[in-house]
Amino acid sequence: MPRLEEHCWSCSCSASVKTQELSSARWVVCKTAEMMSIITSVLSHAYGSLHSLQSANLIRRGLVLFIVGVVLALVLNLLQIQRNVTLFPEEVLDTLFSSAWWIPLCCGTAAAVVGLLYPCLDQHLGEPHKFKREWASVTRCIAVFVGINHASAKLDFANNVQLSLTLAALSLGLWWTFDRSRSGFGLGLTTAFLATLIAQLLVYNGIYQYTSPDFLYVRSWLPCIFFSGGVTVGNIGRQLAMVCKLTNDKFSFCI
Amino acid sequence: MTVRERLRQNISAAFYRHGLLCASYPVPIILFTSASILTCCYPLLKLPLPGTGPVEFTTGVRDYSTPSHESQGDLSERPDWYRGPPVAYIQQVLVKAAVSPWDNSLVPVDVFRSPLGRVFSVLEEIRNHVYTDRSLEALCLQVTDLLPGLRRMQAVLPEHGCLLVSPGNYWQNRRDLFDADPDLLKTVHQHEPKGLHTSATLKDLLFGVPGKQTGVNLYSKKRVVTYTITIALSSYDARFVASLRARLKQLHPSANCTLREDHMVHVHFKEEIGIAELIPLVTTYIILFAYIYFSTRKIDMVKSKWGLALAAVVTVLSSLLMSVGLCTLFGLTPTLNGGEIFPYLVVVIGLENVLVLTKSVVSTPVDLEVKLRIAQGLSNESWSIMKNMATELCIILIGYFTFVPAIQEFCLFAVVGLVSDFFLQMFFFTTVLSIDIRRMELADLNRRLPAEAGMPPPKPGPLRPRETPPPPRPSPHTITLQAPAFRNLRLPKRLRVVYFLARTRLAQRIIMVGTVIWIGILVYTDPAGLRTFLAAQVSEQSPLGEAGLPPHLGVAPVFPGGDPTSTLSGLPAPEPTPLPENQSQGHRAAHPEVAPVSSPQITWGPEDEELWRRLSFRHWPSLFSYYNITLAKRYISILPVIPVTLHLSPQEAIDTRHPQDTHHAPPPSIKTSDLQTDLTLYKVAALGLFAGVVLVLLLFCLYRVLCPRNYGQNGVPHGRRRRGDLPCDEYGYSPPISEISPLLLRGHSMDIECLASDGMLLASCCLVGHIRVWDAQTGDCLTVIPNNGLRRSSSSGCWEHRDGGGAVGGQDVDIFPIRRRTTPARPALFGDQPDLTPLIDTNFGLSPPSQALSSSGFDFGGLVEKAYQEHEPSPTLAFPPSPPPVLPPELPPQNNGDWDSSVWAMELRGNLIATGRSSGKLELWDAVEGSLRCSNEDGVSGITALAFLNNRIVAARLNGSLDFFTVEITKPLGLLQYRGPPGRGSLPPSPCYSSEDVISCQLTRSVQCAHQKPITVLKAAAGRVVTGSQDHTVRVYRLEDSCCLFTLQGHSGGITAIYIDQTMVLASGGQDGTICVWDVLTGSRVSHVYGHRGDVTSLVCTTSCIISSGLDDLICIWDRSTGIKLYSIQQEVGCGASLGVISESLLVTGGQGCVSFWDLNYGDLLQTVYLGQSSEGQSVRQLLVLDNAAIVCDFGSELSLVYVPSVLEKLD
């Protein structure tokens, strides 16, 4: 039961947090995210007391994933901001650093949760991920993910449907190229679905807006971004899990 | 299909020829490639250097006409951007105002209050100017909303109307607000950002002159206020401008003004690359280089890994340059930034081709010529390379037909990039690879010559190649670690703590984390207290000083804490473009110092002509960007300035005073703010320095994180080894005390030679020829069969029978000299034996290799006999040989007499032990009773391998023949009992033969010349017998009728390892380092991979992967279906090559005195079990995995039984 709860929490957490990656949001989400991170930390702590070694490893992986999430959030946030504000460095930097400091933190937490969930799911399903397990492929995956974000921010399509279809094809291609596992697809879909749902709710409650919504309240490419983000972070998480699994050198740093 | 096949063949042939060409003429081809790169990059010279500075072009005002859009080729002096109308014409009205004559009754505020106040009247004049029904409203540049997010500018900058800025904008162009403003300076300064700023500030924008020249300052010595009224005109009407100029000059005549008015300057702005755009770009490039790093790390088995990696990077970079150059050559200057696209392009195309090429080339047989290797490797991969290329081109074509301009451009660029990349890969990289391979071959030759002289000629080698311990080879790909001498040393706690600190670099990490956190706090909490300062200022923004502001302005931080970061972020504030003449000095010279009491002089000098030059070059872009008008790649035309001189009387100044001005002491804030700007500069410098240090630390940290720690420590670049791969780490720590403790089975006096088990029993045979039978569960010694079966003992008394077997031991010792030398010390009980050590002839270069293939075994007898004869007078012969109770009828008349043959192969099924001897004799022993049940002497050539399946025994002989025996039991099968719980394990329970049964062993068929050379491996499973031989072939026989089904050819060296299991999977490894996977049903080759440098020593499979170990101390894990290498584990030098798979995901390997357990899914070390305390030099050569998840391995003269409890759980 607690495991189920954790899954629920983590998923919604990741989703909500990912949403904010693209927008600015308010304290509601912040509070929930805080709560969720507290819960996750408590759970992981409890789990860790049982397996102290594993928990140290888990925390290490989580930390790396967290940093990756923060960096990605900052960069991608910048990409999105840039779309509206160009040629005004100060202003952009102001918005970048002043707009809700917790956004990167939440993104990091989400990345950590999703990235830890993927190998965990692999283990539970009993099908270890064997496809292209190397850092080169993972970096490639990250680059494609940034590229998809770049495209969503920079490309000017005739209509939104074209853009969304292109991005959907791209994100499916990303999954096919780098993941190809059922669990990855499922988790990515779940992430995308929940995240979009929460984005819809946030917009519905007027917390933020999209410039030209075409899918109820949000942009129709949003799920694609979430999907590819989930797959990417999952890939990193798997690689980390593979690399810094428990060894006899238990204090070594990951990677 | 035939077309496809033909195409494939053609492509392959073309690539083959190309490879030959590249490898044959490396230098000309590299020269050619470099030349073509340079040629393609030549157009890049025409491109302007990257930079964002604006460019100017001056035309005369008189004959000015808006340039047309079409390019006019004849006007060569015109820059190519000078086309079409400008974004705006900028007309500046430069106002210089002073209160004169100055008298001492005036307060400092009067210097600028009344001059500034006159701006409103001038503005009025300009706004209302009409020239033949054309007003300013019609001509000026109409602007709409400010950009969202510029709310603080809203009150100041004009919206929805003419773009006309002047200092009056501070007061919304209303005189009454100006008059009511108690503190003008505060109003002016409140919008100034603190810290270093790169773009124009609001004060600059509104005043239109550099901040220091405005004279709006309490301490101005000149007492002249200078400001401009800037008008942006959308269309140029010469007459209107002229009339405006005339009107203003007429109203405010400027004496001694000699400004030239005949030049119009067009300023073209390049695309601005802001930091905000730079960060994602830099990120993508970082990711790109990480990708390149991780990709090139996979390059293996080449001479210079870093050279090849460099070649790969050069390939990538020059293909970028080439594609950009070609694009410019054909006029395809992409509006999309090429540098922005390129990382994605590289990532999408990938370095796969480079890696695939490398892999393919190094996996060709080593013994071929370099030219042929390159050609073959290239042609092997040609089809996939072309297929990928075609697919990519197809995708790009599809992308081109989306008709989205951005995508079309990307596609064009991608096509050029793809083609140039392909070109470089084919020509440049292939050639570099060929050079590298040639170098490696030379190096190999140099190294191998002495090494091979010392190697034993392959005479005994083919017998049991898996047992040959890998000689330590100083290859560049292995790290020669010193023997971990203090592995089992328990260090004192204090030292361990210190080591722990040192190992984890805890202090460093804590410091780094601390700095990062501190920086974060610095950025977010705004150390200068700027936020409160701003909030206070913003709340006072209302001119009346009341709370007439929206409440959020007071609380919302407008630009909190952005300043330190923006200053960190790099762009130094560029000074305005310098004039040809030194402006600042000229300025001072033009304005003679005025005595404090004297009246200020208004002078006009040539420096006032183009005062805008002294503004920040971002002045105009930022002004226009507020209205979302970009000046990037466009230009503006700046009209000659209109000078306006205002002289005000002191009375006027006094009249316009605000009541607070007089009793307002000069506010100290102004002075401090000036001071502060200086201070911030220092602060910024300090912060910059600090940031640099942090950056270096961060890079160091990244380096540490990304690179393995032992990297560079041994001076050997070695990227593949990950932490924890070593059975014992290099810091000398003993691994955590394992709960797995090995059970040592002692009893053999010499090294253990053969090991066989059927799950319940365990039979071992040592060099002397003693066979011992152990209970695999408890480790009890059940039976001892001494050499020649002279005496048997009960399970309790394990006494040794030492007779002449020592000679046999000596013989074996000579056969395996390397192993012999690893045994620690000769046991004392061999005192009665002659010391045969001097006989060990390590100079194998002298012995002719042809001796290897003598069909009747090796005759060391003569050699040893001599030693024995010399030893004869030795007094200690403690145990005279006792007469054998079971007279061995198997004592055959051997060619050299009295030396008994040694056991070369042993198998155990049920309670029968089958032994094959060097004399060619096959014996069947009862495992429990230790009695000889049957023997067969049909063959004379030594039995090198045995397989015992059901009731059949297959024996492979040294002469390459294969004998099939049938074991027949005369008693009915009803008496067969079953030992052990049935159903346990995968093997069928072995039947037990009772001692009363008469067992006969008959030769049913003998396949002479099964192989041309000695059979090295023999495996049987699933009704098939597979043999591998020195003659490079593998043969598959059916067990029932001993019929040869297939002869599998594919190796280019002798077969050294074979794996076959119940699921009919057959894998074979050879001396050439290749591993082949075969389909036993059809006899076809499923996959063929090149895995090791040197022999493949051992092979096992799980359902999903193949695990191989080689002489190069690598353990490689391959995907079974695709043949792709999943990963490899680098082991210590000289590790045993034995492998075993316990469960689907648990691998066990033998090492130096230890066995290691690995998780197959992740490739990491789970545990290392040390077999003994003084275990140096002893390596595990044989390893058997029993049904009950126990492992038996030999360990010198001991056997070690290791139970893996955790695996047991998994199995159940």
Residue B1173 has pLDDT above 70, yes or no: no
pLDDT value for A227 = 92
pLDDT value for B741 = 67
Residue B1030: pLDDT band with limits 50, 70, 90: confident
Residues β-bridged to residue B763: B756, B773
Residues of chain A contacting B557 with CB distance shorter than 8 Å: 98
- For chain A, positions 155-194, list CB contacts with chain B under 8 A: 155-158, 162, 166
Helix, strand, coil percentages, rounded to 5, for chain B: 35, 20, 40
Contact between A245 and B1164 using a beta-carbon 8 Å cutoff = yes
Listed residue (B334, B205, B311, B264) closest to B86, CA to CA:
B264
Element (H, E) at B1203: strand B1198-1203
Q: Which of B36-40, B341-345, B823-827 has the lowest mean pLDDT?
A: B823-827
Residue B126 has pLDDT above 80, yes or no: yes
Residues of chain B contacting A75 with CB distance shorter than 8 Å: 279-280, 283
What is the C-alpha to C-alpha distance for residues B1180 and B1193, in angstroms, rounded to an integer? 6
* Nearest chain A CA: its distance from B348 CA (Å): 8
Length of chain A equals 255
DSSP assignment of A118-170 equals HHHHHHHHT----TT-SHHHHHHHHHHHHHHHHHHHH---SSHHHHHHHHHHH
DSSP assignment of B367-409 equals TS-HHHHHHHHHHHHHHHHHHHHHHHHHHHHHHHTT--HHHHH
| Alpha-carbon torsion angle B582, B583, B588, B590, nearest 10 | 100
pLDDT value for B544 = 37
In angstroms, how far is the first alpha carbon of chain B from the final one? 50
Residue B1018 has pLDDT above 60, yes or no: yes
Element (H, E) at A225: helix A222-243
Residues of chain B contacting A87 with CB distance shorter than 8 Å: 272, 274, 621-622, 625, 630, 632
Listed residue (B1041, B1120, B1065, B1062) closest to B1087, CA to CA:
B1120
Residue B1117 · residue B487 · CB < 8 Å: no
Residue B143 has pLDDT above 50, yes or no: yes
| Alpha-carbon torsion angle B1020, B1021, B1024, B1026, nearest 10 | -40
Contact between A155 and B407 using a beta-carbon 8 Å cutoff = yes
Residue B796 · residue B908 · CB < 8 Å: no
Pairing of strands B752-757, B761-766: antiparallel
* B1053-1094 per-position pLDDT tens digit: 888 888 888 777 788 888 888 888 888 878 788 788 877 877
What is chain B's mean pLDDT, rounded? Answer: 68
How far from B543 is each of A226, B155, B177, B183, B552, CA to CA, in Å? Answer: 49, 11, 7, 9, 17
User: How many H-runs (helices) and E-runs (strands) does chain A carry?
Assistant: 9, 0
What ipTM is given for this predicted complex? 0.70
* B236-248 per-position pLDDT tens digit: 888 888 888 888 8
DSSP, collapsed to helix, strand or coil, labels residue B899 as coil
DSSP, collapsed to helix, strand or coil, labels residue B302 as coil
A149 Cβ neighbours under 8 A, 6+ residues apart:
A76, A79, A80, A225
Residue B510 · residue B742 · CB < 8 Å: no
Residue B1124 φ then ψ, to 5°: -90, 135
Residue B32: pLDDT band with limits 50, 70, 90: very high
Token pair for B653: 């100044």
Question: In this complex, which of A84, A143, A156 lies closest to B406 when CB atoms are compared?
Answer: A156
* Helix axes of A27-50 and A2-21: crossing angle, nearest 10 degrees: 140
pLDDT value for B348 = 66
The CB density around residue B440, as the number of other CB atoms within 10 Å, is 19
Element (H, E) at B433: helix B430-454
Listed residue (B417, B418, B407, B393) closest to B336, CA to CA:
B407
Does the beta carbon of A96 lie under 8 angstroms from any beta carbon of chain B?
yes
DSSP assignment of A15-26 equals HHHHHHHTS---
pLDDT value for A52 = 63
* Nearest chain B CA: its distance from A9 CA (Å): 28
Instruction: Quote the percentage of chain B above a pLDDT of 90.
Output: 0
What is the C-alpha to C-alpha distance for residues B1071 and B1051, in angstroms, rounded to an integer? 8
Among A223-232, B867-876, B1033-1042, the range with the most confident prediction by mean pLDDT is: A223-232
DSSP assignment of B921-938 equals -EEEEETTT--EEEEE--
* B477-533 per-position pLDDT tens digit: 333 333 333 333 344 555 566 556 555 566 667 777 777 777 676 655 544 444 444
In A, minimum Cα distance to B701 occurs at A253
Residue B215 · residue B152 · CB < 8 Å: no
What is the C-alpha to C-alpha distance for residues B685 and B195, in angstroms, rounded to an integer? 11
pTM, to two decimals: 0.45
Residue A147 · residue B406 · CB < 8 Å: no
Element (H, E) at A54: helix A52-84
pLDDT below 50 — which residues of chain A?
1-25, 85-93, 98, 246-255
Average pLDDT over residues B801-827: 39
Instruction: Quote the percentage of chain B above a pLDDT of 70.
Output: 63
Listed residue (B1120, B1161, B1100) closest to A125, CA to CA:
B1161
Residue B898: pLDDT band with limits 50, 70, 90: very low
pLDDT value for B1177 = 58
pLDDT value for B827 = 42
Which segments of B758-833 does DSSP mark as H helices, in order?
805-815, 817-822
* B707-757 per-position pLDDT tens digit: 444 333 333 333 333 333 333 333 333 334 345 667 777 777 777 777 787
pLDDT value for B727 = 39
Q: Is B951 left (phi over 0), alpha (psi -120 to 50) or beta?
A: alpha
Question: In this complex, which of B283, B523, B705 lies closest to A97 when CB atoms are compared?
Answer: B523
Q: Is B1192 left (phi over 0), alpha (psi -120 to 50) or beta?
A: beta
pLDDT value for B301 = 64
* Nearest chain B CA: its distance from A72 CA (Å): 9
Residue with tokens 């009339």: B243
More confident position, B101 or A18: B101
Does the beta carbon of A45 lie under 8 angstroms from any beta carbon of chain B?
no
What's chain B's Rg over C-alpha atoms?
Answer: 46
Contact between A90 and B559 using a beta-carbon 8 Å cutoff = yes
B811 Cβ neighbours under 8 A, 6+ residues apart:
B860, B861, B864, B899, B902
Identify whether B621 is preceded by a cis peptide bond (ω within 30 of 0): no
What is the C-alpha to C-alpha distance for residues B802 and B830, in angstroms, rounded to an integer? 9
The CB density around residue B425, as the number of other CB atoms within 10 Å, is 22
Q: Is B160 left (phi over 0), alpha (psi -120 to 50) or beta?
A: left
Contact between A90 and B1166 using a beta-carbon 8 Å cutoff = no
What is the C-alpha to C-alpha distance for residues A228 and A231, in angstroms, rounded to an integer? 5
The CB density around residue B926, as the number of other CB atoms within 10 Å, is 23
* Nearest chain B CA: its distance from A15 CA (Å): 23
What is the C-alpha to C-alpha distance for residues B1180 and B300, in angstroms, rounded to an integer? 28
pLDDT value for B1041 = 79
More confident position, A62 or B1166: A62
DSSP, collapsed to helix, strand or coil, labels residue B7 as helix
* Nearest chain A CA: its distance from B420 CA (Å): 21
